[in-house]
Amino acid sequence: MSNGSGNSSSNSVPDLQAIVDRVVAKAGKGEQIEAYVSRGGETAVRVYEGEVEHFVSAQSEGIGIRVIKDGRTGFAYAGTLDADAIAEVLADARDNVAFGTPDEYAGLAEPDGVAQIPQKFWDDELAGYATADKISLTKELEKLTLGMDSRVRVEESNYDDGWGEVAVATTTGIRESGRGNSCYVSVSTLADDGDETQTGFSFSVGDSPKEFNLPKAAREAADRATRLLGAVKPPSKRTTVVLDPYVTSQFLGVLSSTLNGENVSKGRSFFADKLGETVADPRITLVDDPTNPLAYTATDIDGEGLAARRNVLIENGVLKMFVQSSYSARRTGTKSTGNATRGGFAGTPGVGCLAMQLQPGTQSQEELIKGVDDGVWIQMVQGLHSGVNPISGDFSTGASGMMIRNGAVAEPVREFTIASTLQRMLLDIVAIGGDIDWLPSRAVGLTLVIRDVTMSGQ
């Protein structure tokens, strides 16, 4: 779960903590053990044409055990908390130790004295929210969206919620547990004009359903699709791009891997030898701050159980630091920055940014667009996983949006790409919006204006 790792005492999960404590107590001489368990549930409602298309109600649980001996690491997991299965997982993890290469930096996190910043991750109102209300909310979102424009159809209207509990313990003294819940609604739209169909989407997030803004989500989903009707393929040229908050969030997500201390130490980041240098326009200050409760991925502990913290990665354009887990920190002779990531019980910790935020500017999106003589407002990008290489820095994605002429939004455009390199784009940022959008993502959204990007169309 995104924000399911809270651990304030009122949030602790004694029965899961007891399971991991029992596993860790089995450590033999010279053996380090980490046990991580999670348990969670989800509800998913999908509505189509006024009917519930599906209703999913599910629970899952599992355990992952890491064993380290003589610098060698072994790991195993199982999707159950059955006692026999846990014993088998521990035996498998021990067996796997023999095949790892000794690594002087292998090991577990150790308590570092950094205090956790308490946050609220559990909402009783959400936990008690009735099934019938979830369904009527999802139907309402579909209806609102259809009412926005007669050209709009709804492909799916969704409500999703989930709760999760985790506990972790290590032979090095980490003992943490916590629980959290969250919910969101999303809607996908189709807009038709003759033979042409364009698509849109939107979502709304809240600690509980009462925080949803359904009319806003409906409006956005309808606008995104209808705005693109009649879109043409633009000519190829160098231009200025105005990234919509959602696109900026994806752009920051790609940058994350270049700021990852493990990638840096293994020669997989073009920032490796750039600490202290100017790598971005001086307007840019980028922080990773999971302690900000407004961030969708806010958390009080990282994937190894250390306190999450606010880290300033780029300050006024200067590269200040990389994010580290305990392993990457040992490799680089630094300290963990509380940035271990974890995909759940089936994986071991990695390193990554947890909640990236660009320091916002003051202008609205409308004001920023007014300041652009000739450019394109990018509403959506496609193929971030296929045309962006965070190691070389090459950046090329499919895009759709609206042309900007003399500060005014002009015709819709689609089936083109925007390209540059990540290194250049950071230096070519010319304006940052004040329109922060706390999207359900690891990076916050806001409008970003970048010059000198190649648009390829006709």
Residues between 216 and 235 with contacts to another protein, criterion CB under 8 A: 228, 233
Helix (H, G, I), strand (E, B) or coil at 77: strand
Interface stretch with another protein, choices 73-81, 121-129, 162-170, 401-409 (CB under 8 A): 73-81
Torsion of the alpha carbons at 110, 269, 438 and 5, rounded to the nearest 10: -20
Q: Does 75 bind another protein (CB under 8 A)?
A: yes
Site string for another protein, 155-194 (x = CB under 8 A): xx---------------------------------x----
Nearest to another protein of 79, 147 (CB atom): 79
Cβ of residue 322: shortest distance to another protein, in angstroms? 16
Nearest to another protein of 31, 156 (CB atom): 156
Interface stretch with another protein, choices 57-65, 173-181, 313-321, 370-378 (CB under 8 A): 57-65
Site size with another protein, rule: CB under 8 A: 77
Phi, psi of 170 (to 5 degrees): -140, 160
Cβ of residue 446: shortest distance to another protein, in angstroms? 24
| Binders in 405-434 for another protein, by CB under 8 A | 414-420
Nearest to another protein of 346, 436 (CB atom): 346
| Binders in 346-365 for another protein, by CB under 8 A | 346, 348
Nearest to another protein of 106, 431 (CB atom): 106
Interface stretch with another protein, choices 5-13, 207-215, 242-250, 267-275 (CB under 8 A): 267-275
Cβ of residue 294: shortest distance to another protein, in angstroms? 25
Q: Does 88 bind another protein (CB under 8 A)?
A: yes
CB 214 within 8 A of CB 140: yes
Torsion of the alpha carbons at 411, 416, 422 and 427, rounded to the nearest 10: -30
Q: Tell me the C-alpha distance between 247 and 367, whole Å.
A: 18
Cβ of residue 75: shortest distance to another protein, in angstroms? 5
Written as six digits, the tokens of 327 are 């392993």
Cβ of residue 433: shortest distance to another protein, in angstroms? 25
CA atoms 129, 130, 133, 135: torsion sign: positive
| Binders in 89-108 for another protein, by CB under 8 A | 89, 92-93, 95-96, 98-101, 103
DSSP 354: S
Phi, psi of 429 (to 5 degrees): -70, 125
DSSP 330: H
Helix (H, G, I), strand (E, B) or coil at 199: strand
Helix (H, G, I), strand (E, B) or coil at 409: strand
| Binders in 271-330 for another protein, by CB under 8 A | none
Q: Does 1 bind another protein (CB under 8 A)?
A: no
The angle at the Cα of 355, spanning 354 to 360, to the nearest 5 degrees, equals 155
CB 165 within 8 A of CB 16: yes
Spell out a b/e string for 290-326, using b for 16 or more CB atoms within 10 Å of the CB, else e: bbbeebbbbbbbbbbbbbbbebebbbebbbbbbbbbb
Beta partners for 395?
A: 388, 420
Q: Does 201 bind another protein (CB under 8 A)?
A: no
| Binders in 115-134 for another protein, by CB under 8 A | none
